[in-house]
Amino acid sequence: MNSIEEIADVLKLLGDKNRLTIVALLNEKELCVCEIVDLLQTSQPNISQHMRKLKDGGLVKETKKGQWVYYSLNIQDKPYIAEILKQIPSQKEKIQSNICEENDCCN
């Protein structure tokens, strides 16, 4: 069971537009940093900082594949996040038009 304090901390994390967008993107599929940088049109250090906060908050996990780190959601113990994600516009179309995938920057 999550405490009010834990839930408040997680919701604070999601109060940032970039972090909320990242979580919505990861709800669609696992992504590497370069893909997220491309999708959000921001710098790699900026995305890395957001990813660190999301990881520290227990919302994402990372998997190393070769030299690349891929991120995915880690919300099995936070069903309220799944409910929030149902209300957020799908990012599937944005991911499908991702330039990075076409260039295979992470492969």
Q: What is the CATH number of the domain that holds 46?
A: 1.10.10.10
The C-alpha atoms of residue 93 and residue 1 are separated, in whole angstroms, by: 34
Q: What is the mean pLDDT of residues 25-32?
A: 96
Q: How high is the pLDDT of residue 97?
A: 82
- Domain hosting 78: range is 4-89
Q: What is the mean pLDDT of the chain?
A: 90
Q: What is the mean pLDDT of residues 20-43?
A: 95
- Whether residue 99 lies inside any domain: the answer is no
Q: How high is the pLDDT of residue 105?
A: 64
What's the predicted TM-score (pTM) here? 0.89
Q: What is the mean pLDDT of residues 40-64?
A: 96
- Whether residue 85 lies inside any domain: the answer is yes
Could you give the number of structural domains in the chain?
Answer: 1
The closest of 23, 14, 25, 21 to 97, measured between CA atoms, is 25
